[in-house]
Structure 1
Amino acid sequence: MNNKKSIRGKLQTFSGAMMVPVILLVIVGFYVGVGSAFTNYILPKGNILYAIFDIITGIGFMIMRYLPLWFAVGIAFTLSKKEKGWGALAGLFLFFAYITAISKFAGYMGWTESSVTVDNLIKAGYTQEKAMNFNSLWTNFAGIFTFDMGIFSGIICGLVAAWANNRWCEKELPMLFSFFSGAKYVIIMVSLLAVPLSIITYYVWPIIASLLQYLTNFITSTGLFGTFVFGTLDKMLLPFGIHHLIAFPIEYTRVGGTMMIDGTLFEGVRNIINGQAGSAGATGYITRNFTTGRILFQLAGIPGVGAAMYFTAKKENRKKVLSIVLPAVLTLMLVGISEPIEYTFLFIAPALYFAVYAPLCGLCYVIAELANVSINGNALFFMIPNLLQPQKVHAMALIYLLPLTFAVYFFVFKFLIEKFNLKTPGRQSDEEGDIKFMSKKEYNEIKKGEKSKADNKNKLPEAIVEAFGGASNIEEVTCCATRLRVTVKDVALVADEKVWKNDLEALGVVRNNKYFQIIYGTRVTTLTTKVKDVLENI
């Protein structure tokens, strides 16, 4: 059981590390969406403003073009426990050493950029289909002929570099070679690791690529059923903190499909949408994008749950309920942070969360796809670029789908709350507790006994460190888009959930053995930096 918890905790940490480079793609959506709108439709060439927006668009596409590189650096940085700067450098160095070694070994085996062309492969005896499949394995990345692995090459290098940095960053060598001790030793080791890693990849990647192609065909061939399964699993895995792991391959690799746009091949639904945003010839966004369904439950469905909580609360408590539901709903609609309301329902009725709420969200994906909703972004803040390219948006169906979704969620959850007498905020008596949102930790178990509490006079980052049992009890600190992720040594030293929510401004807590996720929303990135500063200064 402990091994299972450890594996799940490591997956949570890995999932959080994946979010670091993905944050760059938020920039892509704005840079490409806004910049290309001005250069394609608004400003004439030769204008200085045209040049500025063209540069902005170019930066956005540059981020997409080198996406594997950002994963290598971001993951290596995030998962390195010490000497994070050297860890990031190791990720960068290993990435280029890795793809170069693949190129060299492939050359020794007779494969070059010219020999893998479809025409040359057919001349060598390949059938048309086999020639095209083999040719699709290769690409030119930053002038280096290598496997077309997408973000997987960056993920591999990031993980290996972080492992090497954690293992050898404090390595001591004899006096004669002391210059190469520590972090420098890590750089030497990752360059050597690139050799066996590339040879293994040469033989293994074609097999993995064929499996990914099979997965792509499965998703494509299952149609709306595949869409429903994806949307339902996305919510079912949320409590475990690993929901990103099913979304990333579809959003950022060829598992989600490929499309040639203006002579450039884009892989993954998010990259395709960004490519369409930057294309003057594109007339819309793909409708089977595994993201549009979020619009329905983020802008209407979950607000409907909030309304159900309000109208089922005791009348004398409704003002208090409104004071916590309204900010949560507004935050959800603006930037897509849904955890406070979701975890409240997960705590009070876990069976209904998995049996009703998650499938309803999966159904939202199906309905959006059936209605051919085509739009860039799924929260109001991230939809801003659509205002500059409205001709690419096909979302009139939202006019009736949003109120319909609101009504379904409202009446379903109002019925469930009253039918099963669920203790949502405002339905309990004053003796039973304050009106507030609950979280995942209470879904697992409510920790009993006295816990070490943070000094209210401390600043928040210092109080957070104290709430985790002090710096000596903290093994690792990372974050994703909305959650502070911390690994501790002794869980008994970690503060109770009430301390986190009442004194430390947390929206919720997810606990898995020694792995904690404290939900702080979009401010978590700067908060994580301050927590790390506190740890470094102790």
Structure 2
Amino acid sequence: MKSFSSIEWKSSAKNSWEMFKKGCGNIMPTLSKLSKAFLLPIALLPIAGVFLGVGSAIASNSVDGTFGYFLGSLLNKMGDVCFGNLPVLFCISVALAYTKDSGIAAITAVVGFLVMNGMQAALLHTQQLNIDTTNLWVQTSIDENGKAVWEHFTSVVVDANGKGKINWADSSINLQNIMAWGIGSSEDNLRMVNSNFELIDGAGSVYYSLLWINKIPNGLITSNIGVNSLNTGVFAGIFVGAIAAKCYNKFHQTQLPSAISFFSGTKLVPIVTFVAVIPLSFIFMFIWPYVGMGLAAFGQASGKLPGGLDSFIYEVAERSLVPFGLHHVFYAPLWWTNAGGSIAEAFNKATPEQQAEFVKIWSANHSVLAETLLNGVSEGLKFQTIRNMISSDYPDLWKSMGDQTMAYSVIAKINVLNFTDLEALGLNIGRFQSGKFGFMLLGLPMAGLAMWLNVPKENRKEVMGIYFSAAFTCFLTGITEPIEYTFLFLAPWLFYGVHMPLAAISFLFAGLFKTHVSMTVSGGFIDYIVFGVIPYFGSKAMSAKSAFAILGVSAAMAPAYFFGFYFAVKYGNVMVPGRDGSTNVQLATKAEYKASKGLNVDGSKIEEGKSTKASAKDAVEEARIQKATKIIEFLGGEANIVDVDACASRLRLTVKDGSLVDKDGIISLGGATGALIRGTNVQVVYGGEQEAIKPRMIKILDEQRKSKK
């Protein structure tokens, strides 16, 4: 038997490692584009969230029928409709991201999304049970112990098709006394049904059947742009968008035979996609009911971890992915699917103790509604009565799932259900969001102050602007990248060794205190006002502890971040901007500076008779073109560049050979706080300038490639 020598083992291990690195390098561009795709709908959410939060506050504090009520309802619905249609928005965004913003691909994605959901709707049906004189029971009353009293209903006839029908004329039971229906051989093995004899759950919502799968919970069925189908959250939209993009990239230039040439090119794309989504629809029908129930179980189980531990674990993973731009991929399921929890599941899985506590808290928080709804209802049926009211009258609220979606749904219907009500059921809404306020309001701004204080005194004035503007931006809007990327690429250990642990601790305490403050995308002061202060003072949506413990966590994070970064930068000898002796750290570009002095980019004087404003504009444009040209050179030239794209803060590039990229050369051009190379994927962090660089690079590359033809 042949054995490997140590050299052969090392060689084999080295080859395996190289193959692994190559595989990671190839998958990074795909994941990078996916992350970029997520940013498109995410960019819409801040304004939608503000409209929803402000609208809800106005409507809930206005009398029905008044101008304030209608204005608040209008604003609320404008924001709510965006969150209600996230799946199709993600579908379109993914198609755009993988096809260089093709409008044809976007339309095709919508077609594919409609087809996939239409197939499900055709095969989806409720479970209607057969009845006869031996299995129909009705609940007519509640005894003194709160136990349901069931009576055997014998007035049933069977029609020619073998279906049971009730013979009301022969009934000995007063129909007005019927409280619930059940089917079974005895009172002990009843299956609950509604008046149409459809199988229902404990909340009175019907179960569905799809293919061979029965008892699909009502929460897994929803209306996707008007089509009643599986509630797949954003997952199905992402897959359909990817298929639409693939079909577009492969077939949009296809020429068909002359007899059917009308369908060539872009007209062929939606036709191919129409067919391509058929197997995807069946795949979702086969597995999603099980996946959906599994995700719901995960969301419930993770919410039972003690002391904010679920929030802590979440932030360790989420913040670890920020440097790679993949954190959007990670938190999407937790924010917008039942992996992040479900209101329906919280009700259905509530223990008797939780039910009693919920009724007590809900009745106190909604006294007027409780007096109307629960008047004359026995104690044992109050929880079920409230649950039935929410599931039947407010289906969007009942079916909402995902940490952020639930938060926005509750804010939209705060007069029916609020955060403290759901807290009694063990649902800690905000556990994957609230922790960000702790380090975004004060933590990272104090880290910026600590880095600035490490700059020699003679240089502090020159670099004050970049530190303090970044700190104020972080505090006001929650945009952290200007500060994070200042130290991330200089000393990654600062990010993973100081920032990430402190951010996770911020989430730990936010989860521990059950701070239900939601956000749009980042946890800045604006979001805190909209989703914390206004819901608390406007409609008591949460407790004072929940609303203001955020400020306590922020106050604790401030010194932790300050001292952590101050000593880490000082004794770790991290050369933050200004500490290395350089003072040319400014937000203005070189071209803008020279133009203000009456000079062109090359230093020559602006021609007389030419307006200073026009010359300045020409100088800025010339500088941007020169910079884009240089970036192309440092990327290994036109032949080495496969794709140019951008997201909220980065220039995202795909190259043929990553070893040809001159990272230092790109950074030397100014404006970039760092660059990351992973295989064939290159990311350059700018923070805003990338939106000006991207179109100019694309234009220059097109010109260079045309000149070689």
AA partner of residue 56 (structure 2): S
In the aligned structure 2, how far is the partner of 1:523 from the partner of 1:429?
A: 25
SS of structure 2 residue aligned to 1:290:
coil
1:24 Cα offset (Å):
2.3
In the aligned structure 1, how far is the partner of 2:494 from the partner of 2:463?
A: 22
Q: 1:525 to 1:271 in 2, by over 3 A?
A: farther
1:137 Cα offset (Å):
3.3
Contact 1:337 1:482 in 2 (8 A): no
- Larger RCO (CA within 8 A; separation ≥ 6): 1
Give the structure 2 partner of residue 481 of structure 1.
648
Give the structure 1 partner of residue 411 of structure 2.
277
Give the structure 2 partner of residue 451 of structure 1.
none
1:60 aligns with 2:79: yes
1:36 Cα offset (Å):
2.3
Give the structure 1 partner of residue 682 of structure 2.
516
Q: CA deviation digits over 1:436-457, x for unaligned, max 9? A: 99xxxxxxxxxxxxxxxxx975
Q: 1:372 to 1:145 in 2, by over 3 A?
A: closer
Give the structure 2 partner of residue 161 of structure 1.
244
1:406 Cα offset (Å):
0.8
Contact 2:628 2:696 in 1 (8 A): no
Alignment TM-score, normalising by the size of structure 2: 0.65
In the aligned structure 2, how far is the partner of 1:94 from the partner of 1:384?
A: 40
1:309 Cα offset (Å):
1.2
Q: 1:322 to 1:509 in 2, by over 3 A?
A: same
Contact 2:489 2:675 in 1 (8 A): no
Give the structure 1 partner of residue 145 of structure 2.
none
2:480 counterpart (330, 335, 338): 338
Q: CA deviation digits over 1:391-428, x for unaligned, max 9? A: 24643234443232111111122222333333333333
Give the structure 2 partner of residue 240 of structure 1.
324
Contact 2:657 2:679 in 1 (8 A): no
1:259 Cα offset (Å):
2.3
When structure 1 is superposed on structure 2, of 69-78 and 222-231 the one drifting more is: 222-231
In the aligned structure 2, how far is the partner of 1:112 from the partner of 1:209?
A: 18
Contact 1:299 1:379 in 2 (8 A): yes
Give the structure 2 partner of residue 304 of structure 1.
446
AA partner of residue 270 (structure 2): I
1:526 Cα offset (Å):
7.7
1:329 Cα offset (Å):
0.9
Structure 2 gaps, min length 5? 1-20, 130-180, 184-190, 208-213, 345-389, 421-427, 588-618
1:225 counterpart (309, 324, 327): 309
AA partner of residue 86 (structure 1): I
Give the structure 1 partner of residue 169 of structure 2.
none
SS of structure 2 residue aligned to 1:458:
helix
Q: 1:156 to 1:184 in 2, by over 3 A?
A: same
In the aligned structure 1, how far is the partner of 2:481 from the partner of 2:182?
A: 53
AA partner of residue 169 (structure 1): H
SS of structure 1 residue aligned to 2:400:
strand
In the aligned structure 1, how far is the partner of 2:80 from the partner of 2:657?
A: 45
In the aligned structure 1, how far is the partner of 2:577 from the partner of 2:551?
A: 30
Contact 1:468 1:488 in 2 (8 A): no
Contact 2:340 2:401 in 1 (8 A): yes
Between Structure 1 and Structure 2, which shows a larger proportion of helix residues? 1
Give the structure 2 partner of residue 452 of structure 1.
none
1:256 counterpart (335, 340, 351): 340
Give the structure 1 partner of residue 622 of structure 2.
458
1:534 Cα offset (Å):
7.2
- Aligned sequence identity (%): 27
Matches within 5 A, 1:372-383: 372-377=514-519, 378-383=523-528
Q: 1:274 to 1:320 in 2, by over 3 A?
A: same
Decide which structure has the larger Cα Rg and report it: 2
Matches within 5 A, 1:284-295: 284=419, 287-295=429-437
Contact 2:403 2:429 in 1 (8 A): no
Give the structure 2 partner of residue 406 of structure 1.
558
In the aligned structure 1, how far is the partner of 2:462 from the partner of 2:75?
A: 45
AA partner of residue 112 (structure 1): H
Contact 1:94 1:161 in 2 (8 A): yes
Matches within 5 A, 1:419-430: 419-429=571-581
Give the structure 2 partner of residue 98 of structure 1.
116
AA partner of residue 125 (structure 2): T
1:112 aligns with 2:121: no
In the aligned structure 2, how far is the partner of 1:90 from the partner of 1:61?
A: 25
Give the structure 1 partner of residue 37 of structure 2.
17
1:177 Cα offset (Å):
1.5
Contact 2:121 2:227 in 1 (8 A): yes
2:105 counterpart (87, 91, 101): 87
1:188 Cα offset (Å):
0.8
Q: 1:398 to 1:46 in 2, by over 3 A?
A: closer
AA partner of residue 269 (structure 1): D
Give RMSD over aligned pairs: 3.5
Q: 1:486 to 1:335 in 2, by over 3 A?
A: farther
Contact 1:348 1:422 in 2 (8 A): yes
Q: 1:334 to 1:510 in 2, by over 3 A?
A: farther
Give the structure 1 partner of residue 598 of structure 2.
none
Give the structure 2 partner of residue 347 of structure 1.
489
In the aligned structure 1, how far is the partner of 2:326 from the partner of 2:126?
A: 38
Matches within 5 A, 1:113-128: 113=126, 115=128
Q: 1:239 to 1:76 in 2, by over 3 A?
A: same
AA partner of residue 237 (structure 1): L
Q: CA deviation digits over 1:495-538, x for unaligned, max 9? A: 645645754x3444333233233334367668767766777788
Contact 1:509 1:517 in 2 (8 A): yes
Give the structure 1 partner of residue 89 of structure 2.
70
Contact 2:443 2:558 in 1 (8 A): yes
1:396 aligns with 2:562: no
Contact 2:47 2:79 in 1 (8 A): yes
When structure 1 is superposed on structure 2, of 272-281 and 150-159 the one drifting more is: 272-281
Give the structure 1 partner of residue 51 of structure 2.
31
AA partner of residue 49 (structure 2): G
Q: 1:465 to 1:276 in 2, by over 3 A?
A: farther
AA partner of residue 400 (structure 2): F
Alignment TM-score, normalising by the size of structure 1: 0.83
Contact 1:232 1:358 in 2 (8 A): yes
1:30 Cα offset (Å):
1.4
Q: CA deviation digits over 1:291-326, x for unaligned, max 9? A: 111111111111221122122222222223423211
Matches within 5 A, 1:42-53: 42=62, 45-47=65-67, 50-53=69-72
1:252 Cα offset (Å):
1.0
Contact 2:431 2:510 in 1 (8 A): no
Give the structure 2 partner of residue 198 of structure 1.
281
AA partner of residue 241 (structure 2): G
When structure 1 is superposed on structure 2, of 203-212 and 251-260 the one drifting more is: 203-212
Q: CA deviation digits over 1:118-164, x for unaligned, max 9? A: 98986799996997654443334344332121111111111111111
SS of structure 2 residue aligned to 1:60:
helix
Q: CA deviation digits over 1:69-89, x for unaligned, max 9? A: 11111111121147x011001
Structure 1 gaps, min length 5? 438-454
When structure 1 is superposed on structure 2, of 419-428 and 31-40 the one drifting more is: 419-428
1:230 Cα offset (Å):
0.8
Q: 1:127 to 1:456 in 2, by over 3 A?
A: closer
Q: 1:256 to 1:415 in 2, by over 3 A?
A: same
Contact 1:165 1:186 in 2 (8 A): yes
In the aligned structure 2, how far is the partner of 1:412 from the partner of 1:480?
A: 30
Contact 1:21 1:75 in 2 (8 A): no
Q: 1:103 to 1:532 in 2, by over 3 A?
A: farther
In the aligned structure 2, how far is the partner of 1:461 from the partner of 1:50?
A: 52
